Chains A and B, each alone.
Chain A
């Protein structure tokens, strides 16, 4: 199996071969649908975590009183300390049925109307949609984004703010026009670190995302991710050098390479930016 087929093949269908001469013994190990699923879930997670995390960080570092900070920061740290398996349980048994119920109800309303097709589709939505795993992963990443961005915003020298305020700018204008542009590289770094966390996150997607490998951008569809496939390929009893096991290690290697690249870039950006004002 060539690495090119593995990385750029578009069908993922690892089969269990009962006899060696079966057609199924080949299986298909094209990892593109897995990367697409990972990307979709990451995108959903970041669209939850980035705005909420960033705005909380801005409020905490620019507006909040000492008392608010003293209460809110530890609470956010609690959110960060919750084990991911707990988020997975929450996603699978609370958020999943909730979202499905909502979409099914909306679908039932739409059926028979001008949006009949959409209604029928919404009524068949499953518990394991990308949206559920992505949204819960987003909640998990909020404290990560907010504490990193908080550090970065605090590293912006006070003199920049004072200068802007002295010119008559309001505080929000100071934040938007002076502090944020100054902190932008650092915040990009923080977001990249969060992306790398989202890509490598395992438990939430294992418990709440599905197993069907699909290349789609529809958040209501079931998708699967690289980490889910590693877990499913390796938790059974397998011979060590079967194609399935080897492909799991291949996926692991790809995952490692991707997150490593993201981390190297992100850490470099964050550090470079810090040195500017020190």
Chain B
């Protein structure tokens, strides 16, 4: 005690300065650490995004290249019956034609040709059938067909089957791989951009499956959604914002709309199943019922976006219109709504983009069905892109996995386009009052 009192003030000051310096150092270190936590968090979030998109891109890009085989086939009159053209086994004819080219002989049980047929898509057989059906004179002649190789053979050409792996772990054995190498060396195999992925619909054979049916289904469904959700949501918002009295009921409605926007989408699917399918008997798994459900789901977001856009229009516009004698309806529809339109459209497009990517409610209303064709109308069975992704993801063949990733890329392109449209719309027409 006495020491402290007796010591010169300068020493105490130095102690205190040192303590402050130490504390400052600690606090600054803390500050730096805190800042790094923030940076690390953002880095983590962005790297998740990069990994997600990069991984799907890597898995999917190989789908856009496909390998095709061109085979001249002698349509043997002994094998194809003129009276029963569809009854002939064209796949076998093609396999034997390829075998002959490879200089292999089939054994009596057809095992060798069976192994070869695994390498070819049955699309080739259908092509020969179509040619012969269109022109029966082709029987006895040699026709040339070009079609995809089988799914596993495609994977091999894309380098996704490891030659070094033990034979029993591979889908294709050494002999089959040797055949494929020979066919490629002989120039029978050609590769190119995979157009059939965009011109065909779902199929049980991965090499023939495409997204056209799903894209058309998505498009039809979005038309229904947009046709219902946008006008109804817009008019509801106009009423609530411009005409409705402010009382307890409108407050209640507002709270409810906010809550509805946060209800899990699967609940809308249950609602659709109970009301539209079971009660109103709308056809199952049609774009119509899907569109109805998604319209219900997007209504709250459209209403909220429209109200925000209407709120942003300054009251002076309304007052000016009313002052020159416009009725309230004229004020709203001639002046306020046109000015709010860019905001309304931006909100509508964004909620439609969200609806495009929605899957869960559609599972409830029977959209998970195998639909091999392109839907021709609003009430026919259809599938949509996200559900197609879900179906393919569940498929066991490995070749479907790359198709799934490719379908995701197609879906993402559509969503990016819609978001881009919304951003451009906002940029182009944005007004600050």
> Which residues does A use to contact B, with CB under 8 Å?
51-56, 58-60, 62-63, 72, 75-76, 78-79, 81-90, 92-94, 139, 142-143, 146, 170-173, 175-176, 193, 196-197, 199-203, 206-207, 227, 230-231, 234-235, 240, 248-249, 252, 255-256, 259-260, 263-264, 267
Would B419 and A200 count as touching, CB distance under 8 A? Answer: no
CA–CA, A230 and B30, complex, Å: 48
**Which applies to chain B's interface (DSSP): helix, strand, loop or mixed?**
helix
CA–CA, A199 and B46, complex, Å: 24
Shortest 6 CB-CB contacts between residues of A and residues of B: A200-B264, A59-B38, A83-B357, A55-B41, A172-B34, A202-B360
**Which applies to chain A's interface (DSSP): helix, strand, loop or mixed?**
helix
Minimum CB–CB distance for A90 against chain B, Å? 6
Chain A, residue nearest B262 (CB): A263
Checking B56, B267, B358 against A89 with a beta-carbon cut-off of 8 angstroms, the contacting residue is B56
Checking B41, B357, B363, B419 against A52 with a beta-carbon cut-off of 8 angstroms, the contacting residue is B41
Would B353 and A81 count as touching, CB distance under 8 A? Answer: yes
Would A172 and B267 count as touching, CB distance under 8 A? Answer: no
Task: Scan residues 379-433 of chain B and give those whose CB is less than 8 A from a CB of chain A.
Answer: 386-387, 389-390, 393, 401, 404-405, 408, 411-412, 415, 419
> Which residues does B use to contact A, with CB under 8 Å?
27-28, 30-31, 33-35, 37-42, 44-46, 48-49, 52, 55-56, 59, 255, 258-259, 262-267, 270, 273-274, 278, 353-354, 356-360, 363-364, 366, 368, 386-387, 389-390, 393, 401, 404-405, 408, 411-412, 415, 419
Would B266 and A252 count as touching, CB distance under 8 A? Answer: yes
| Given known A-B contacts A83-B386, A90-B56, A63 and B262 have beta carbons under 8 A apart | no
What are 12 sample pairs from A and B whose C-beta atoms fall under 8 A apart?
A83-B356, A83-B386, A89-B393, A89-B404, A173-B30, A176-B34, A197-B264, A200-B264, A206-B390, A234-B273, A263-B259, A267-B262
CA–CA, A94 and B60, complex, Å: 13
Excluding A52-B41, A86-B357, 13 further A-B contacts by CB distance (< 8 Å) are A59-B35, A59-B39, A60-B42, A63-B38, A81-B419, A83-B386, A85-B393, A92-B393, A171-B31, A206-B363, A231-B364, A248-B270, A263-B262
In the complex, which residues of chain B have a beta carbon less than 8 angstroms from the beta carbon of A53? Answer: 41, 45
CA–CA, A84 and B362, complex, Å: 13
Would B55 and A94 count as touching, CB distance under 8 A? Answer: yes
Minimum CB–CB distance for B271 against chain A, Å? 8
Chain A, residue nearest B387 (CB): A85
CA–CA, A126 and B226, complex, Å: 42
Chain A, residue nearest B419 (CB): A81
In the complex, which residues of chain A have a beta carbon less than 8 angstroms from the beta carbon of B408? Answer: 85-86, 89
Chain A, residue nearest B49 (CB): A79
Checking B28, B38, B270, B401 against A55 with a beta-carbon cut-off of 8 angstroms, the contacting residue is B38
Minimum CB–CB distance for A49 against chain B, Å? 10
| Given known A-B contacts A56-B42, A82-B412, A90-B56, A235 and B359 have beta carbons under 8 A apart | no
CA–CA, A264 and B252, complex, Å: 12
In the complex, which residues of chain A have a beta carbon less than 8 angstroms from the beta carbon of B55? Answer: 90, 94
Would A89 and B389 count as touching, CB distance under 8 A? Answer: yes
CA–CA, A93 and B387, complex, Å: 17
Would B266 and A255 count as touching, CB distance under 8 A? Answer: yes
| Given known A-B contacts A89-B56, A89-B405, A230 and B390 have beta carbons under 8 A apart | no
CA–CA, A72 and B38, complex, Å: 12
In the complex, which residues of chain B have a beta carbon less than 8 angstroms from the beta carbon of A197? Answer: 262, 264
Minimum CB–CB distance for A91 against chain B, Å? 10
| Given known A-B contacts A89-B393, A172-B35, A267-B258, A227 and B412 have beta carbons under 8 A apart | no
CA–CA, A235 and B35, complex, Å: 48
Would A83 and B262 count as touching, CB distance under 8 A? Answer: no
Would A83 and B52 count as touching, CB distance under 8 A? Answer: no
CA–CA, A203 and B269, complex, Å: 13
CA–CA, A154 and B182, complex, Å: 67
Would B368 and A235 count as touching, CB distance under 8 A? Answer: yes
In the complex, which residues of chain B have a beta carbon less than 8 angstroms from the beta carbon of A235? Answer: 363-364, 366, 368
Chain A, residue nearest B274 (CB): A249
CA–CA, A87 and B412, complex, Å: 12
Would A76 and B45 count as touching, CB distance under 8 A? Answer: yes
In the complex, which residues of chain A have a beta carbon less than 8 angstroms from the beta carbon of B48? Answer: 79, 139, 142
Chain A, residue nearest B37 (CB): A55
Would A200 and B263 count as touching, CB distance under 8 A? Answer: yes
In the complex, which residues of chain B have a beta carbon less than 8 angstroms from the beta carbon of A200? Answer: 263-267
In the complex, which residues of chain B have a beta carbon less than 8 angstroms from the beta carbon of A249? Answer: 270, 274
Minimum CB–CB distance for A256 against chain B, Å? 5
Chain B, residue nearest A267 (CB): B258
| Given known A-B contacts A63-B38, A75-B49, A85-B386, A170 and B28 have beta carbons under 8 A apart | yes
Would B273 and A63 count as touching, CB distance under 8 A? Answer: no
Would B262 and A143 count as touching, CB distance under 8 A? Answer: no
Chain A, residue nearest B361 (CB): A202
Would B404 and A175 count as touching, CB distance under 8 A? Answer: no
In the complex, which residues of chain B have a beta carbon less than 8 angstroms from the beta carbon of A206? Answer: 360, 363, 390
Checking A55, A86, A248 against B40 with a beta-carbon cut-off of 8 angstroms, the contacting residue is A55
Would A86 and B393 count as touching, CB distance under 8 A? Answer: no
CA–CA, A252 and B368, complex, Å: 19
CA–CA, A173 and B359, complex, Å: 44
| Given known A-B contacts A55-B41, A88-B393, A260 and B52 have beta carbons under 8 A apart | no
Chain B, residue nearest A54 (CB): B41
Would A255 and B386 count as touching, CB distance under 8 A? Answer: no
In the complex, which residues of chain A have a beta carbon less than 8 angstroms from the beta carbon of B259? Answer: 260, 263-264, 267
Checking A78, A201, A248 against B264 with a beta-carbon cut-off of 8 angstroms, the contacting residue is A201
In the complex, which residues of chain B have a beta carbon less than 8 angstroms from the beta carbon of A81? Answer: 353-354, 357, 415, 419
CA–CA, A72 and B357, complex, Å: 23
| Given known A-B contacts A203-B360, A260-B259, A79 and B35 have beta carbons under 8 A apart | no
In the complex, which residues of chain B have a beta carbon less than 8 angstroms from the beta carbon of A172? Answer: 30-31, 33-35
| Given known A-B contacts A86-B56, A86-B411, A199-B264, A52 and B44 have beta carbons under 8 A apart | yes
In the complex, which residues of chain A have a beta carbon less than 8 angstroms from the beta carbon of B389? Answer: 85-86, 89
Chain A, residue nearest B409 (CB): A86
CA–CA, A86 and B52, complex, Å: 9
